[in-house]
């Protein structure tokens, strides 16, 4: 299981009262490592752990557009992974892109 995912999950599950600070710690870790995931995926589009960490961080930081650029580049390189397609799909269906009801 990817290192960041385990750390974020453990921090969020630690204690309900500390959940806000744990989420903040996860966001800080993601802010620090976001460019690292981009670099890893640029070098190796088949890195499953990097894809999972990118997805988690994209969600925590709401950086889906940046993740979509990385995913598009991976698709252009003919990656066999499903994650780039899932990231692009998620970016399309996020609430800001959905029509309002009413």
pLDDT single digits (tens) 64-99: 889 999 999 999 999 889 999 988 888 887 766 545
Q: pLDDT confidence of 62, banded at 50, 70, 90?
A: confident
Look up residue 80 and give its two tokens: 């066999």
Task: Tell which residue, 54, 26, 28, has the closest CA to residue 40.
Answer: 54
Give the global pTM. 0.68
- Could you identify the residue written with the tokens 């799909």? 89
Q: Can you list the pairs that 81-87 forms with residues at least 24 positions away whose Cβ atoms lie under 8 Å?
A: 81/45, 81/46, 81/48, 81/51, 83/48, 83/51, 83/52, 83/54, 83/55, 84/45, 84/51, 86/55, 87/51, 87/54, 87/55, 87/58
pLDDT single digits (tens) 17-30: 555 677 778 888 89
């Amino acid at each position: 299981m990817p290192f960041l995912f385990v750390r974020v999950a453990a921090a969020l599950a630690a204690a309900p009262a500390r959940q806000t600070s744990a989420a903040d710690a996860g966001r800080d870790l993601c802010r620090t490592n976001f460019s690292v995931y981009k670099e890893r995926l640029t070098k190796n589009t088949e890195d499953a752990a990097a894809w999972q960490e990118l997805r988690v961080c994209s969600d925590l930081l709401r950086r889906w557009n940046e993740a979509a650029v990385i995913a598009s580049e991976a698709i252009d390189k003919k990656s066999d992974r499903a994650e780039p397609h899932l990231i692009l799909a998620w970016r399309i269906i996020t609430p800001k892109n959905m029509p309002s009801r009413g």
